[in-house]
Amino acid sequence: MFFTASEEDIKSGKTTDFYFINTKKILEKKNINKNVVVEVTASSLPDNYRWGILSGLYEALLLLEGYNIDVSGLNEGSLFYPQEPVLTIEGNYKEFCDIETALLGFLCQSSGISTKSARLKKIVGDKQILSFGVRRMHPSIAPMIDRAAYIGGLDGFSCIGAEKITGKKASGTMPHSLMLMIGNSKEAFVSFDEIIDKQIPRIMLADTFCDEKIEALIAAENVKNLSGVRLDTPGSRRGNMSKIIQEVRWELDIRGYKDVKIFLSGGLDEDSFKSIKDADAFGVGTSVSNAKTIDFALDIVEVDGKPFTKRGKLSGKKTVLRCPKCGSGKITYGKTNEKCACGEKMKSIQINLMKKGKILVDFEDASNIRSNVLNQISKVEL
Ligand SMILES: [Zn+2]
C-alpha cells in the first residue's frame, strides 16, 4: 500500500492534526456550542510577493460539503493580497474544527503552485511555458499540480493524469532515454517523425550526444515539419545558455529554418528568463511543482456574533474589496464598496460558496479559470 490518505480518509478527518482531536473532545464534554466566524488568510506571501492566486477551492468545498456551515469567499483563480480572507466559514466551531488541517492543505499547496505559475507566465508574456515538474513530486498529487499550474497561467503540462480534471491534453515529445535507445540523433528524430501522430508537434531534443547547434541542424535537415528543438543542456555544460541559444538560432536561421522554435528546459525559475530572451518556449520543473506553499492560516475572528480573535490578527468578519480597473485591494469591516485611489468604485469580490453544507457554485472549466487569472494579472505589477 502506498503511504497516502484516501479520499474517504481525508473527508472523515483521518489526516487531522492531533490537537484538534483534543479540542473537539473538550468542546463536546463541556458542551460548548459557540457560533463562530473563521477566516482563511495569508499574513504574508513567499518571498514577499505582492499578490497570490487562489486555487484548490473546489477540493476545499468538496471537503466542507455536508457540514452544517455557511461559506463565502473568493472564487477559484482569484488574485488575492496578504491579509485578505480568501474563505470565510460560519458555524458551530465544535462541528468543523477537525477539518482545518485538510482544508488548509488543499488551499496552501495548490495556491502556491498557481501563484508561481502566474508569476512565470507574467514574466514570459506571449511565449509558451509548460509544466514538466510532476516527476519530482509524489505521484498521488500529480494531477493537482498540473491543474494548479495550468489555471495559474501556464500554457500546458506533461502529466496525462491532469487531462481529466482540466479538459486539456497533456503534451511532450521525447526524453533522452529514447535517444539513447535508438543510439544516434538522426535515427531517433526520423523514427519519431515516422511513428508519432502527425498532430503532435515535432520538437526534437537537441543536446544528447553533441553540441546543441549540431543536433539542432540534424533535426532541421531530417524532419520535414520540424516545429522546434528542445535544449535541456546539462548543468555541467551551461557555460552561457544565452549564447548557446543565440548560436543555435543563428545556425538555423542562415540555413532557412527561421520557423523552427527553440524550446528551453532544465532548472528554470524567475531569474532565468532575463538571460534567455532568444528562446521561444520554456518547460519548467520544480520551480512550479515544488513551489513554496501559501501559508494560509485559519483563525476565529468572531464568536457568537462579536468580533474576537487572537493577538496578531484582525477581528471581525471582513469584506474584500477589489478595484475592477486597477486591481487594487482593500479589506473593510461592514462597508461593501469604496472609491479606489484611481477613481473607480471598488466592490466586494466575495461570493456565497456554501449554505448549510450545500455547494452553491458551479465548478468552472480550467481554461475559463485560467483566462480569468491572465486577465487579473494583466492589471497588476509582479
Ligand atoms: Zn483602482
What percent of the chain is helix, strand and coil (3-state, nearest 5)? 40, 20, 40
Q: What pLDDT digit, counting tens, does each position of 166-216 carry? A: 999 999 989 999 999 999 999 999 999 999 999 999 999 999 999 999 999
For residue 339, how far is its CA from the centre of ligand 1 (angstroms)?
Answer: 8
What's the mean pLDDT in 39-52?
A: 98
Ligand 1: centre distance to CA 122 (Å)? 20
346 C-alpha to center of ligand 1: Å?
A: 7
Mark the residues whose beta carbon lies below 5 A from ion ligand 1: 323, 325-326, 328, 340, 342, 344
Ligand 1 center–CA 85 separation, angstroms: 20
Residue 274 confidence class, pLDDT cut points 50, 70, 90: confident
Are 302 and 36 in contact, with CB atoms under 8 Å apart? yes
Whether 148 contacts 10, CB under 8 Å: no
Please give the distance, rounded to the nearest whole angstrom, from the Cα atom of residue 113 to the centre of ligand 1: 27
Ligand 1 center to 254 CA (angstroms): 49
CA of 371 to the centre of ligand 1 (A): 21
Q: How many Å lie between the centroid of ligand 1 and the Cα of residue 381?
A: 13
Rounded average pLDDT over 29-52: 98
Concatenate the DSSP letters of all residues of 4-42 into one string: ---HHHHHTTTT--HHHHHHHHHHHHTT---EEEEEEEE
- Give CA–CA dist 186/107, Å, rounded: 46
Kindly give the distance from the C-alpha atom of residue 320 to the centroid of ligand 1, in angstroms, as a whole number.
Answer: 14
Q: Is the pLDDT of residue 24 over 80?
A: yes
Q: Which three cell numbers stand for residue 97?
A: 474544527
Distance from Cα 151 to the centre of ligand 1, integer Å: 25
Q: Write down the pTM of the prediction.
A: 0.97
Please enumerate in sequence order all residues whose Cβ is within 8 A of that of 116, keeping only pairs 6 or more positions apart, or say none: 152, 287, 288, 291, 292
Q: The C-alpha cell of 3 is what?
A: 503511504
> What distance in Å separates the CA atoms of residue 14 and residue 137, rounded to the nearest whole number?
22
Mean of the per-residue pLDDT values of the chain: 96
Q: How far apart are CA 8 and CA 175, in angstroms?
A: 37
Alpha helices in the chain (DSSP H): 7-11, 18-29, 57-64, 93-96, 100-124, 142-151, 163-166, 176-182, 185-195, 212-222, 241-254, 286-289, 366-377
The residue whose grid cell reads 469584506 is: 319
CA 241/CA 93 separation, integer angstroms: 55
What local confidence, expressed as pLDDT, does residue 276 receive?
A: 83
What is the CA(44)–ligand 1 centre distance, in A?
Answer: 22
If you average pLDDT over residues 141-157, what whole number do you get?
Answer: 98
Q: Is residue 3 helix, strand or coil?
A: coil
Residue with cell 491532469: 162
Give residue 197 CA to ligand 1 midpoint distance, Å: 49
Q: Give the three-class secondary structure for 74.
A: coil
Q: How far apart are CA 122 and CA 124, in angstroms?
A: 6
pLDDT, position 17:
97
Q: In order of start, what are the domains of the chain with their CATH numbers?
A: 7-113+292-377 (3.20.140.10), 172-288 (3.20.20.70)
SS3 for 366?
helix
pLDDT at 275 over 90: no
Kindly give the distance from the C-alpha atom of residue 327 to the centroid of ligand 1, in angstroms, as a whole number: 6
Distance (Å) from CA 349 to ligand 1 centroid: 14
Tell me if 51 sits within 8 A of 77, measured CB to CB: no
Using the mean position of ligand 1's atoms as its centre, give its distance from the Cα of residue 329 in Å.
8
Which backbone phi and psi does 110 adopt, to 5 degrees? -60, -45
C-alpha cell at 91: 458555524
Ligand 1 center–CA 380 separation, angstroms = 11
d(CA 319, CA 351): 11
What per-residue confidence (pLDDT) applies to 207? 95
Cα 83 to averaged position of ligand 1 atoms, centre (Å): 18
How far away, in angstroms, is 345 Cα from ligand 1 center?
7
Q: How far, CA to CA in Å, does 172 sit from each of 41, 158, 175, 319?
A: 37, 6, 9, 43
Cα 50 to averaged position of ligand 1 atoms, centre (Å): 16
Would you say 147 and 162 are in contact if contact means Cβ atoms under 8 Å apart?
yes
pLDDT digit string, tens, across residues 347-371: 999 999 999 999 999 999 999 999 9
Residue 335 pLDDT class (50, 70, 90 cuts): confident
Q: CA gyration radius for the chain?
A: 24
Instruction: State the pLDDT at residue 101.
Output: 98
Predicted pLDDT at 371: 98
